[in-house]
Chain A
Amino acid sequence: MPNADDIRGMFFEECDDLMEALFEGLNLLENDEAEDDTVNAIFRSVHSIKGGAGAFKLDDLVSFAHKFETVLDELRAERINADAPLIAVMFGAADHLAHLIEACRDDGEIDLDRGTALLSDLDGYISADNSPGDDFVFEPMALDFGELEAAPPPDDVVGIQFQPFAKLYQNGHDPLLLIAALKARGTLEVAVDHAALPSLSDYNPDDPKLVFSMTFSAQDAELVVEEVFEFVEGICRLEVTPIISDDPPPPGDFNDFETTIDAPADDHDVPTDLPDFEPEAEQTIAPAPQPDAPPAKPAAEAKSGKSSGKGESTAAQPTLRVELDKVDRLINTVGELIINQAMIAQRIDQLELPGDSDLEADMTDYKMLARDLQEGVMSIRAQPVKTLFQRMARITREAGSATGKSVRMNMIGESTEVDKTVIERLADPLTHMIRNAVDHGLESKEKRIESGKPETGEISLSASHSSGNVKIDVADDGAGLNRERILDIAITKGLIPKDSDLPDAEIDKLLFLQGFSTNDEVSELSGRGVGMDVVKRGVEALGGRISIASTPGKGTKFSIVLPLTLAVMDGIVISVARETMIVPITAVIETLRPEAVDVHHIGKDQKMLMIRGEYVPIVSVRARLGMTDPIQEADEKVLVLVEGSDHKRCALCVDGIQDQRQVVIKAVGGNYGHIPGVSAATIMGNGQIALILDTDHLSTTDDAHLAMPVSPAERGLIAP
């Protein structure tokens, strides 16, 4: 049995999916692309969140969701229209719902003020268009069924057929408690039908056979029944039939109902009298039918929606939740398979078989299969950026309301798939960029109107795949960068020399310098002293690059280019002291063979490289890593010019450059700890390990490890 925490975790995971569906629906509404079922889908999401939250006694969440749901119900019944203000309120409510879910999950603070304001907004939609109180819930029934409206009975009488399924018991529910709960709310007569019960010898405790027939009378009986049985939806057969006749028939009448497992649920087929319960000949094994909610209520549709999915605008693909760990193990194994395949191929080559050997063809097939397998496995980790984008849309709205600007977000390519970890770690940099775009990028309403732009600013967020990378653009249609001011600020803050004359592109890049913030006033949103440099570092930590393009009066666009996955990296394969190593390509500016005149000596050992009017220190990787090799270094060396994340450049002196290729990043195991100058390792095609160099560390000058002698390098190796 999963414990309570697991179930709680599952609930919150489900909430993520539900919120995604909710935002998707709201976006459709906003863009006027709503279909018949859109509102229902939104309603279902909120309703499911409410239901789940109720089970965990998350009262704040339940009460807010309930209010939201009520408004959605109004919308669904077409008593109110989804106009722009309502959509804005609903977006606000959805944002708050997301906030509440997060707060509940992390036991965080709940922003009560915002909730209260939203609640009153929502209330506006309920009370303005409706008679208050319980009546409105029944209004749809009145609309559809004139006779009920004509003479509403003081007490509704309903016949209930309740047959718990095995699942109900497995989930820890107790029919007795449900019946007792019902009894507490009205007058109840219960009869149990045990005809289907087998003899004791054939009795299977896991296969419940009991059917309860009840006659229940109370105010709003159907609603009460619905509430009581809310949490056993789908795990029992529940049929609620309004009984118009004043004399409730004896419960015994239901006894005909023996073996019926599944009476087809039809929301609109309203029996006006006692239904004729014919024993169904056929037993359905299909999933539990949804409880027959009161037929005339639109809610019935929503309830059954989740499993039936009828009229869903976008049919959701069935998904499977798998622990990330399992996927990673699979990826590892497949990676090893690829290496193994390469090794076998090498061995076969060495055999020098005749050219027409079948083995060659088979090897090619093997290689193709292995690659397919790897791609397939890698794609498991990939997820659409949709959730991330929706979160950003929320941030855009929040930023818009905080700055008093009218903003809308335009999302392109939300279905682009990116590695899960990349998505998670992109959230912070993107949040920053979006806030910046709204706060600094977009002009105020007045200025926009002045310059002939629409009042509402637009932030567009797009994702696309390009040549093995993922490109994410954040663009605004604001005023563009004010280069004069950027230059001014950079000079005032002493970031660049006074009389600097920089080309536009270089000025734009100043934004990424540490301690740069263009807004004069430090606003609540951005400008906390941390700026684009944090974004840049965040992106670089993911092995990506960021660039900026701006047109005065038209807007600014930031582009992030990221590797598809963190597990793979492009690198330059170099050799140092007979070892193979990798330099991450993101750090490499160029590779070169220096002319003797460009190399200058400082002191005894230090050398500088003169490149394009700049002196760059030459760092010997061999010395830096404390490697000794009997073969003396040749003077004619190959240099790899690298730039660290702090913009410091240095020229790494290596013995040779072999190749440029994608490598799979592996951590050094065994709790070995940090290795200075090395960030990770990878396995080459021949099964040998190559270390991935940490260029940031190599380019820093102070290093305590320089003096350490290393002996094991010359260890005699025994051929395997």
Chain B
Amino acid sequence: MTDETTAPVGGVLECVSFSVNGQTYCLNIMSIREIRRWANVTTLPHADSHVLGVINLRGNVIPVYDLAVHFGLGKTADGQRNVVIIADIEGESIGLLVESVSEILTVARTDVQETPPLGKDGHDSLIEGLITVGDEMVQLIDLRTISMNRESAAA
């Protein structure tokens, strides 16, 4: 589900921002189902490096991804504030491990800047847009790129 379908163009966008190994990212709040504490994962064989494994979410087996690995930032460092964001993507749930959740941002649609092309190895395809909050740049994640079980998600 893309943001275009959940909020009218020109409307207001609500995002949950979180930090991933020092960088700040955010996700459309409409695609987030819940935020859970980190729990044991069951590792999957032959999985990509950004796939941590699967967890039990009330009887559903859902895959969990390490966003830091996904964006090529190394593994998410262990910490007390680590959480798993359960997000909905095309009706299926996935889990995303992040360092910590920061806040809920409310921005106008028009304030979301399109990601400039970043070249061959850039992350522009993983990022839907950029939002400025104070001095900080927040990257709006394109969820669809995460669940793909690709050979190499991160450089």
B54 in contact with A689 (CB, 8 Å): yes
Is residue A671 contacting chain B, with contact meaning CB distance below 8 A?
yes
Which of these, A668, A671, A716, A718, contacts B54 with CB under 8 Å? A668
Question: Would you give the 0/1 interface string for A411-426, flagging 1 where the beta carbon is closer than 8 Å to chain B?
Answer: 0000000000000000
**Chain B's nearest CB lies how many Å from the CB of A70?**
51
Is residue B100 contacting chain A, with contact meaning CB distance below 8 A?
no
Chain A hits for B90, CB < 8 A: 671
| Given known contacts A671-B147, A712-B52, A720-B37, A666 and B46 CB-to-CB distance under 8 angstroms | no
Is residue A460 contacting chain B, with contact meaning CB distance below 8 A?
no
* Alpha-carbon distance between A689 and B95 when the two chains are bound, in angstroms: 15
**Chain B's nearest CB lies how many Å from the CB of A631?**
15
Which residues in chain B, 32-69, are within 8 Å of chain A measured between CB atoms?
Answer: 37-47, 49, 51-56, 58-63, 66
Which residues in chain A, 661-718, are within 8 Å of chain B measured between CB atoms?
Answer: 666-673, 675-678, 681, 683, 687-691, 705, 708, 710-713, 715-718
| Given known contacts A691-B42, A710-B45, A711-B49, A672 and B147 CB-to-CB distance under 8 angstroms | yes
* Alpha-carbon distance between A676 and B46 when the two chains are bound, in angstroms: 7
Is residue B78 contacting chain A, with contact meaning CB distance below 8 A?
yes
B40 in contact with A668 (CB, 8 Å): no
Is residue A626 contacting chain B, with contact meaning CB distance below 8 A?
yes
* Alpha-carbon distance between A674 and B143 when the two chains are bound, in angstroms: 20
* Alpha-carbon distance between A688 and B55 when the two chains are bound, in angstroms: 7
Q: Of all chain A residues, which has the CB nearest B149?
A: A673
**Chain A's nearest CB lies how many Å from the CB of B153?**
12
Question: Would you give the 0/1 interface string for B76-88, flagging 1 where the beta carbon is closer than 8 Å to chain A?
Answer: 0011101000000
* Alpha-carbon distance between A620 and B59 when the two chains are bound, in angstroms: 30
| Given known contacts A627-B45, A670-B94, A711-B49, A688 and B66 CB-to-CB distance under 8 angstroms | no
- Which of A328-336, A543-551, A643-651 is the contact stretch? A328-336
Q: When A and B form their complex, what is the total count of cross-chain residue pairs whose Cβ atoms lie within 8 Å? A: 113
Is residue B89 contacting chain A, with contact meaning CB distance below 8 A?
yes
Question: Would you give the 0/1 interface string for B108-148, flagging 1 where the beta carbon is closer than 8 Å to chain A?
Answer: 00000000000000000000000000000000000000010
Which of these, A624, A625, A683, A710, contacts B61 with CB under 8 Å? A683
**Chain B's nearest CB lies how many Å from the CB of A628?**
10
Chain B hits for A669, CB < 8 A: 60-63, 92-94
List 8 A-B pairs, minimum CB-CB distance, nearest first.
Answer: A625-B45, A336-B59, A670-B94, A689-B42, A681-B61, A705-B46, A670-B63, A669-B62
Chain A hits for B95, CB < 8 A: 670
A670 in contact with B45 (CB, 8 Å): no
Which residues in chain B, 1-60, are within 8 Å of chain A measured between CB atoms?
Answer: 37-47, 49, 51-56, 58-60
| Given known contacts A626-B46, A677-B46, A678-B44, A712 and B53 CB-to-CB distance under 8 angstroms | yes
**Chain A's nearest CB lies how many Å from the CB of B144?**
10
A interface size (C-beta, 8 A): 40
Chain A hits for B93, CB < 8 A: 669-670
Q: Which residues of A contact B (CB under 8 A)?
A: 332-333, 335-336, 339, 579, 624-627, 666-673, 675-678, 681, 683, 687-691, 705, 708, 710-713, 715-718, 720
A678 in contact with B63 (CB, 8 Å): no
Chain A hits for B38, CB < 8 A: 717-718, 720
A667 in contact with B46 (CB, 8 Å): no
**Chain A's nearest CB lies how many Å from the CB of B96?**
11
Would you mind naming 20 contact pairs between A and B with Cβ atoms under 8 Å apart? Answer: A339-B59, A579-B43, A625-B45, A666-B59, A669-B61, A671-B92, A672-B147, A687-B56, A689-B42, A689-B55, A690-B42, A691-B44, A710-B43, A712-B47, A717-B40, A718-B38, A720-B37, A720-B38, A720-B39, A720-B40
Chain A hits for B54, CB < 8 A: 668, 672, 681, 689
* Alpha-carbon distance between A718 and B52 when the two chains are bound, in angstroms: 13
Which of these, B42, B46, B52, B55, contacts A579 with CB under 8 Å? B42
* Alpha-carbon distance between A624 and B46 when the two chains are bound, in angstroms: 9
Q: Of all chain A residues, which has the CB nearest B37?
A: A720
* Alpha-carbon distance between A717 and B37 when the two chains are bound, in angstroms: 12
**Chain A's nearest CB lies how many Å from the CB of B139?**
22
Q: Of all chain A residues, which has the CB nearest B38?
A: A718
A667 in contact with B61 (CB, 8 Å): yes
Chain B hits for A718, CB < 8 A: 38, 78-80, 82
* Alpha-carbon distance between A672 and B40 when the two chains are bound, in angstroms: 19
| Most interface-central of B45, B53, B90, B147 (chain A CB within 10 A) | B45
Q: A676-B45, A718-B38 given. 19 additional CB < 8 A pairs? A: A579-B42, A624-B45, A625-B45, A666-B59, A668-B54, A670-B93, A670-B95, A671-B92, A671-B147, A675-B44, A675-B45, A681-B54, A689-B61, A712-B41, A712-B51, A712-B66, A718-B78, A718-B82, A720-B38
Chain A hits for B44, CB < 8 A: 668, 672, 675, 678, 691
